[in-house]
Every structure is written in C-alpha cells, then in structure tokens.
Structure 1
Amino acid sequence: FYLFLFRLFCSWTRRLLVATCTVISTSHGATAVERSSTSSEAISSQGPTHDEIDFEFLGNLSGDPYVLHTNVFTQGKGNREQQQFNLWFDPTKGLPHLLHHMESTACNIFAVDGTPIRDFKNLESKGVWFPKNQPMWLYSSLWNADDRATRGGLVKTHWTQAPFTASFRNFKANACQWTSPSDTSRCSSALSSGKHQVWMTRELDSRHHLSPTIALDCLISLAMASSQSSTAACFFLALCLASIALAGNFYQDVDITWGDGRAKILDDGQLLTLSLDKYSGSGFQSRNQYLYGKFDMHIKLVPGDSAGTVATFYLSSQGNTHDEIDLEFLGNLSGDPYVVHTNLYTQGKGDREQQFYLWFDPTMDFHTYSVLWNPRHVVFYVDGTPIREFRNGELAGVPYPKSQAMRAYASLWDADDWATRGGQVKTDWSKAPFTASYRNYTADGCVWNNSGAASCAMGSHSWMWQELDPNAMDRLKWVQKNYMIYNYCTDVRRFPQGLPRECNAS
C-alpha cells in the first residue's frame, strides 16, 4: 500500500509531457517522498512478465482539461487503457487535490478526491491475471510523449516553454518490505496476524464510494500551481493503508425528527433528502450519542436561488449548558458563493463564529463535510481539507467540550432574518420546495451508553489523539488566507471589553 504526497508546479500554457507514477508489485503498504526536481520515480517489477499499475496525467493546451490515463499490467500484458478521464476541476489552481490508489486482494481502486474512478477487480476465478506475486519498486517520471499524449499526438510539445518541472515531497512507506524471497512468509505472517487486514480485503461500499477516511488518512496530494513557465502534466500513484469506516444506512443510523414527511430516506437507506417550504423545514438526528469521534457526511446543497435557507450538519448535547459543534451552509442568490458558517458552544456559550466561502459549487455534486472531535482539538473539514481548528484551551481557562455526549444532527430550515447578507435578502418562496441531499454518513466514535464515559475517553481509535500534520496546517492556512470572510477573534467592535480568551491564547 503506497502513500504518495506530491506538489507539482504546472503553468498556464501548453502541456504536452506526461508525468507518471507506476506501481508494480504485491508488496502492500504505504509510502511517501520528499524531493524537488525534474525526475523519474516509478514502481515496477522487472522482466517481460512484470506487473504494473499506472497513473498518467497527460498535458494539455491552456484551457483544455487534463486527461487522467490509467492502465494495469499483469504478467507483462497491459492494453487496459480503456478508462481515461477528464478531470472535473482545474488541477493547476488552488489547493492540492487528493488522489488515491488502493490495492487489496480483492481489487485495485483508482480515486480522485475520494471519488473512485476505476475499479479493477480480482477475477482470477474467471481466469484473469491479478497482480499479487511480484514485489515492486516505486517509480515516477516526467517525460516527453508528444507522439500520443495530447489529442492523440496531433499537438506537439511547445519547447519554448521549457524547462518543465515537477516537485515531490513527503514520501513515506508502511508496507511489507521485500528484501529477499524469504520475506514472503514474513509479510504473509504480518497480514495473517491482522496488522494489515483492515485494507487487505476492502472493496467499495454499496454506493460505490471510497470512505472519507481514505481521503484523510492517505494524504495523497497532487498540487499544480501556476508559474511563469509551461510545465508538464503530473502524476501519482498510491496504495493506501487506511482504516476504512464504511458508510452506514440511514434506516439504521438516524431518526427523522421533524418535517411532517419533508424528510425522505431513499435508495435502500443510502440517501436522505431534506425539504423546506413556506410552512416547515425538516431534520434528522443520529440514534447514537458520542463522546469524541470523527464524523463525515456527503452533502449536496440546495441549488439555484437558495437565499434565506440554511442546511446544517452538527453535533449537540442537550440542556441550557449544552456543548455544540456547528457546520451551517448559508443559502445564496444564484451566482453568489455559499457561505460555510461554523460555531462552537461550550457549556451553553457560543459566539465563536468563523465563516468561509467555498472554493467550488457545492450544489453540483456531493462533497464531504467532517468534524474531528478529540481531547486535543475540534477540526472542521471540507473534502478532507481543514478549514478551522479549535484547540483545547482549558489550561488557559477556556471551556472545552469533553464531558457531554452529543448526537449528530442535520436540518434544512428558513433563516432569512440573518442567513443571506445579514438578513437583507429574503427567501423567495416561489422557488420552494428547497431540497438538500445527504449520503454516506459515517460516525467513527465512542458510543455513549450512560455508563461508558471513562472507557470511551480512553479508546484506542486512530483519531483519538490525531493532530494536524505540516501539510494539513499548510492547507488550513491556505483556506483561512483565501476564503475566510469572518473571524470573531478579529472583531474588536463586537467585543469592546476585549477579545475572548481563546483568541488571545491562539
């Protein structure tokens, strides 16, 4: 299983080179690299009957989408390039995008931003070779392929834009390391002991989605930033060692709590829609309560003119001194960006709002919104990118949510007294009903049973003491620099007696 984090600096003009990362092996594990050069890296076994798993990013003309080219070789035979894809975003701008390859004994899955794009299953029972016996090296490369790369070779490399440069970093490996044939039994022993079983037999869930856990645990990035010179396409390949939390079923996991039929569970429990009209909104809550955990939801927000509406995904306990962790999505006029409104209550006190624009249209497709809550901090994520961190500041006298179990909630409701432009724009009820869609709810947390608080807090879950690594901190700073539009910690007019204590502590 190979974990790869890349930053590839690409420009605005003609890109006709191919950067590739090729995997060829059965040495499962996780790997990553730190280097910055125009270079070649790949994973390959050797000889005419080698195995190989390819990710290739084919350069383009300015304005054209990048093409993602995939291939799988087994026993020296490839010709499985039938699956090529245009990327649905501009990979040369903004944040690094998360790209993954997950290999198990059951399948090989290629994914972009947590969305699987190709699944090559193990069909040995039907006589189809599957890569499983040959250990591999990891390779990557940046090379000229203008005989085929762009528009079938019709467009040639623009050498006046050279040199083209790719940069790599954070190469790590968590794998069965092959040093001699005798190592086969050692890897097998480690696998049979359960050390790697969590991914060894994993497949896609019933909705054909990778768990959001993969996007977070397998920090595989492909970053292409504009520069003054042309660059080539970029690449990666990764086989992720991930603790996969499979998406649940809404029939089993939640209760619809209000809305008089406006909330509907569809697709055998895999999809839940909330609707809002002039008379009522709707909402649901998790059946379980949790003390700490990692919570994810895929949401597609209300499209079109959604001014005045608020869709939510949040955690909350009960009572006047409740704790609460809020993600609220404030509707907009058509063409305006959505606002993500975050807040955190401790012992009944909130007033900790931070707001952000989203860097994509959240109404076109589902995106993953997450909350990590552990004893050290609360982190809000969008598509695996942290947008806000609230640290445990108890040593500085700042209350922190740590003793009240919380449920997960979601709702769609009317808030046109404040939601859009401070309440200046009202809900246009001629556009009703408004609908938001939810799917792939996952809660990897300590379930509260009214007597298990102590054992829950001492759990061994991977998220329990998880911190933001340097890459995540870079992404957090990028979001806050470019997309934060309100921060209570800088609103001195609102707090004339002094900013809240946590603002000074941070």
Structure 2
Amino acid sequence: MESFRCCRRSCLFVIIIRATLVFCLCSWAQMVSAHSRKYTTPNVKRLTDYFSRISIDEGFSQRFGTQNIQINGTAAKLTLDKTSGAGLVSKSNYHYGFFSAKLKLPAGFASGVVVAFYLSNAEKYPKNHDEIDIEILGRSRRDDWVVQTNVYANGSLSTGREEKFYFWFDPTQDFHYYSVIWNTHHILFLIDNIPVREFPNRGAFTKAYPSKPMSLYVTVWDGSEWATHGGKYPVNYKYGPFVASIADVELNGCSVDGTGSCTKSGGSVSGLDPVDGQDFATLSKEQITAMDWARRKLMFYSYCSDKPRYKVMPSECR
C-alpha cells in the first residue's frame, strides 16, 4: 500500500512537472515577438543610396533635453531618463522631399517609450497643423516594439489615420532605415527601403493631405499615457535610461526660407517638388509587391478597419 502511495505521488509529481513545462512552453511561444520570426524579405531598390548623408550639427538644432543629447558627426544618441526625453529638429522647413535616418532602438524592457521620426508644423500652425509620423512604440513584452505610421492635415487630430506594423527584425540590435517620401503625388513610408504604406494625393485623400512646409523631428520621450495598450503599461525607469541612436541622416527636400523661396539641398533653385522623378512619383512593380508583402504579413491595425472608433469612416476608407 505504501509503495502504491509512493507510486501515485511520483506519478502526480510527473504530471505536475509535465503540465508546468507545457504551460511554460505555451507562455514562451506567446511571448515570442514578431521580429524573431523568420521572413524572406522582398528585393527592392535602395532609395537611401540616392542621397548623401549630412552631419547632425549641419541639419539639426537641439529641440529639448539638451543634457540628454550626444552628437558625434553623422551620429547622435538621444536618451530618455527620469529627468527628460530628448529631441532634434531640422534647421530648415521643407515643402516635400525625401527624409531618412538609420535608427537603433533602446534595448531591454521599454514599455511606454516612444522613438519618433516625423515631419510637423505644429509650432507654426498650432490649430491647423500638418504631420507625417513614424512613431516606434515600446511594448509590454520585453524587446518587442511596433511601428505606427500616421498622417494629419489641417489640424485633423480627431481623425487619426494610424496604421501599425510588427517588425521583421529586432530593431534594438542594429541600425535600420526609416524613410518618408512626401511630394505632390503621395506620401510613402519605408522601413529598410521596403514600402509599408502609401497615402496618395488624389481623390478622397486630397482633403487629408499635408500641404504646408514642415520641420523634421527625431525624438525619444515618455508616452506612458497612451503608447502601450492605451497607457496600461507606463515607462518603468528602473530599466532605463533608454538610449535611441541615430545615424546616416538624409534631408533631401525643398527647403523654405523666410522669403518663401524654395531650394534643393545644395543651393540649386527648384520647384516645390524636388523628388518628382519616376523613382519617387510612382511605385515600381517590385515596390508594389514588397508593400503588399509588408501589409499582409506585418500590419495588424488600420484605421480603415476600426469601425468601433469611427461612427462615420474617413472618406478615403469608403
């Protein structure tokens, strides 16, 4: 009888151990972030090879968090800690152009941290501003980030046009390109030269299309109130400081000076659309294929599918 009890206890112990292992394995599988999956990325033209890089001091002023900004030639580090975030702003305002930088995100648990690469004129037009956003949001799981794109025009903050994507790589381990094309034809968001979203300037989109000159910003800041599950997971500073690195900046746009005239970088007089060639005006077949791949595999939210949020969908969604 005693040996039966021992056997039963042993069997029960084995069952508990097995159940625990199964639970742990399932939990681990759920925690595996999207960028750890293996993807074969499409081949695309490297638009980032078309332009020269500029030094940080040449292209930017320090916007806030000066004590948390370290500049070294064509590279910089922006830090978020308990005292402040950090931000750079372009010295020029631009009306259309190609804007790109390589970014490396803070490693470790970064819930609530926001790293942003965006164009805006909110300071000049506080009630009627335009904005083109790439916002990279820290998540509630370790080393798991997502990228959110957004477009505002004429102060339409109440109608966000967000689309969110998982990464196909770990953005904390190395530098990767984040780029925006903005011209009379369309706005195109690219990651490592792969288009992930196009916002055309035609039809129903026209009223929502940014039209005024904007500055380029690169920032890291505390988005605890909204960035992670609507603010459910705020920044935990015991895992900080949070350091975002930037390098290989490209600002090839129509810079607008105080008189309203327009010049390309380098000083040659141009029209209002310096990136209007075929490589920038329309998508090639390979770019269309690549964007379709990114949206099928990696996009997990689009404002055009958010019926609970909008009683009346934005006109371009209908």
Q: Where on the TM-score scale, by shorter chain, does this alignment land: which range?
A: 0.7 to 0.9
C-alpha distance in 1 between matches for 2:188 and 2:92: 21
> Residue 226 of structure 2 corresponds to which residue in structure 1?
418
Cα deviation, residue 325, structure 1? 0.2
1:310 to 94, 105, 114: 114
State how far apart, in whole Å, the 2-side matches of 1:340 and 1:396 are.
Answer: 22
Equivalent-residue separation in structure 1 for 2:205 and 2:245 (angstroms): 40
Partner Cα separation in structure 2 for residue 464 and residue 95 of structure 1: 20
Equivalent residue runs for 1:140-155 within 5 Å: none
Residue type of the alignment partner of 2:216: A
* Cα distance, 1:311 vs structure 2: 0.4
Once the two structures are superposed, what CA deviation does each residue of 1:135-175 show, in whole Å capped at 9, x if it has no partner? xxxxxxxxxxxxxxxxxxxxxxxxxxxxxxxxxxxxxxxxx
The residue aligned with 1:342 is: 149
**TM-score normalised by L of structure 2:** 0.79
Report the Cα offset of residue 399 of structure 1.
3.2
Partner Cα separation in structure 2 for residue 437 and residue 458 of structure 1: 30
Q: Which has the higher contact order (CA 8 A, sep 6+)?
A: 2
Cα gap change, 1:463/1:259 in structure 2, threshold over 3 Å: closer, same or farther?
A: farther
Query: Which residue in 2 is equivalent to 1:259?
Result: 65
Q: Deviations over 1:458-477 (max 9, x none)?
A: 54753785211121111111
Kept in 2: contact 1:344–1:352 (CA 8 A): yes
Cα distance in structure 2, aligned partners of 1:501 and 1:296 = 30
Q: Residues 423, 413 of structure 1: CA spacing in aligned structure 2 closer, same or farther, 3 A cutoff? A: same
Distance 1:249 1:298 in 2: 13
**Equivalent of 1:95, from 41, 48, 55?**
41
Partner of 1:405: 213
Does the C-alpha gap of structure 1 residues 276 and 336 become closer, same or farther in structure 2, counting only changes over 3 Å? closer
1:270-300 Cα deviation digits (max 9, x unpaired): 2111101112101010111111001110000
**Aligned mates of 1:216, 1:460 — CA distance in 2:** 11
Deviations 1:312-364 (A, max 9, x none): 00001131111110000001245453110111110011411111111110000
- Name the amino acid aligned to 1:500: P
Instruction: Indicate the percent of aligned positions where both proteins have the same amino acid.
Output: 35
Q: Is the 8 A contact 2:143 2:172 kept in 1?
A: no
Structure 1 contact 294–445 (Cα < 8 Å) conserved: yes
5 Å-filtered alignment, 1:451-466, equals 451-452=260-261, 455-457=270-272, 459=274, 462=277, 466=281
1:388 to 197, 222, 235: 197
1:430 maps to 2:222: no
What are the superposed Cα offsets for residues 88-136 of structure 1, whole Å, 9 maximum, x if unpaired? x99x8432256xxxxxxxxxxxxxxxxxxxxxxxxxxxxxxxxxxxxxx
* TM-score under structure 1 length normalisation: 0.51
| Aligned counterparts, 1:222-241, within 5 A | none
Q: How many residue pairs get matched?
A: 272
Shift of 1:485: 1.3
Deviations 1:19-70 (A, max 9, x none): xxxxxxxxxxxxxxxxxxxxxxxxxxxxxxxxxxxxxxxxxxxxxxxxxxxx
Q: More helix by proportion, 1 or 2?
A: 2
- Equivalent residue for 2:47, pick from 216, 223, 240: 216
In the aligned structure 1, how far is the partner of 2:274 from the partner of 2:193? 23
**Equivalent residue for 2:185, pick from 355, 367, 376:** 376
Equivalent AA in structure 2 for residue 270 of structure 1 = T
| Contact 2:110–2:140 (8 Å) recurs in 1 | yes
> Does the C-alpha gap of structure 1 residues 345 and 463 become closer, same or farther in structure 2, counting only changes over 3 Å?
farther
**Residue 491 of structure 1, aligned match among 293, 306, 309:** 306
Q: Distance in 1 between matches of 2:206 and 2:290?
A: 29
Q: Secondary structure at the match of 2:208?
A: coil
SS at the partner of 2:292? helix
* Cα shift at 1:422: 2.4
Q: Deviations over 1:212-234 (max 9, x none)?
A: xx7138xxxxxxxxxxxxxxxxx
User: Does the aligned pair in 1 maintain the 2:104–2:171 contact within 8 Å?
Assistant: yes
- Say if 1:456 and 1:93 are closer, same or farther in 2 by CA, change over 3 A: same
Q: Does 1:328 align with 2:135?
A: yes
Question: Does the CA contact (< 8 Å) of 2:93 and 2:214 recur in 1?
Answer: yes
Distance 1:253 1:336, change over 3 A: closer
Question: Cα offset for 1:365?
Answer: 0.3
Q: Indicate if the aligned counterparts of 1:304 and 1:334 stay in contact, CA closer than 8 A.
A: no
RMSD: 2.4
Matching residue of 2:171 = 362
Quickly say closer, same or farther: Cα 1:492–1:344, change in 2 above 3 A. Answer: same
The answer to whether the 8 Å contact 1:250/1:270 transfers is yes
Distance, in Å, in 1 between the alignment partners of 2:287 and 2:104 is 24
**Helix, strand or coil for the counterpart of 2:67?**
coil
- Matches of 1:432 and 1:474, distance apart in 2: 39
Change (3 A) 1:421 1:340: same
Q: Partner amino acid for 1:332?
A: R
- State the shift of 1:395 in Å: 6.2
Task: Give a deviation string over 1:390-446, Cα, whole Å, max 9, x none.
Answer: 1113566633222x1111101100011221222211211111211000011101111
